[in-house]
Chains A and B, each alone.
Chain A
Amino acid sequence: MEPILEVRNLSISFTQYGRGTRQVLLPVIRDLSLAVAPGQVVAVVGSSGSGKSLLAHGILGILPYNSHMAGEISFLGQPLTPRRAAAVRGKEIVLVPQGVTYLDPLMKVGPQLRKGRRDQSARTASRAVLERYGLGADTEERYPFELSGGMARRVLIATAAAETPRLVIVDEPTPGLDARAARRVLGHFRELADGGAGVLLITHDLELALTIAHRVAVFYAGETVEEADAADFAAGRLRHPYTRALWDALPQNGFIPISGAQPGPGEVGEGCPFASRCPKGRPECMGPVAYRELDGGLVRCLYPEGGEQP
Chain B
Amino acid sequence: MSLEAKQLTFGYRRKGKEPVLDHIDLTLEPGERLGLLGPSGRGKTTLCKLLAGYEKPDSGTVLVDGKPLKEYRGICPVQMIWQHPETAVDPLMKLGDTLKEGGPVEEGLLEALHIQPAWLERYPTELSGGELQRFCIARALRPGVRYLLCDEVSAMLDLITQAQIWTFLLDQAEKRSLGLVIVSHNSPLMEKLCTRMQTLA
Contact = CB atoms under 8 A, between A and B. Distances in A.
Instruction: Specify whether A and B are partners.
Output: yes
Interface of A: 46-50, 148-150, 175-182, 204, 206-207, 245-246, 249-252, 255-262, 264
Contacts of B131: 261
Interface size, B (range): 20 to 34
If over half of A's interface residues share one DSSP class (helix, strand or loop), that class is named, otherwise mixed; here it is loop
Contact of B164 (A48, A246, A257): A257
A308 B191 CA distance: 39
A264 B40 CA distance: 32
A251 B157 CA distance: 13
B166 A245 contact: no
A107 B156 CA distance: 30
Given A48-B156, A48-B157, A179-B187, A149 B164 contact: no
A48 B114 contact: no
A179 B185 contact: yes
Contact of B158 (A48, A148, A182): A48
A241 to B, nearest CB: 12
B155 A261 contact: no
Contacts of A261: 114, 116, 130-131, 161
B93 to A, nearest CB: 20
Contacts of B39: 178, 180-181
Interface of B: 39-41, 114, 116, 128-131, 155-164, 166-167, 185-189, 191-193
Contacts of A46: 158
Contacts of A47: 128, 130, 157-158, 161
A259 B193 CA distance: 20
Nearest to B170: A255
A310 B181 CA distance: 50
Contacts of A50: 128
Contacts of A207: 186, 188
Given A48-B158, A178-B40, A259-B114, A251 B188 contact: yes
B33 to A, nearest CB: 14
A207 B189 CA distance: 12
A177 B40 contact: yes
Contacts of B189: 251
Contact of A252 (B40, B128, B130, B188): B188
A252 B160 contact: no
B108 to A, nearest CB: 15
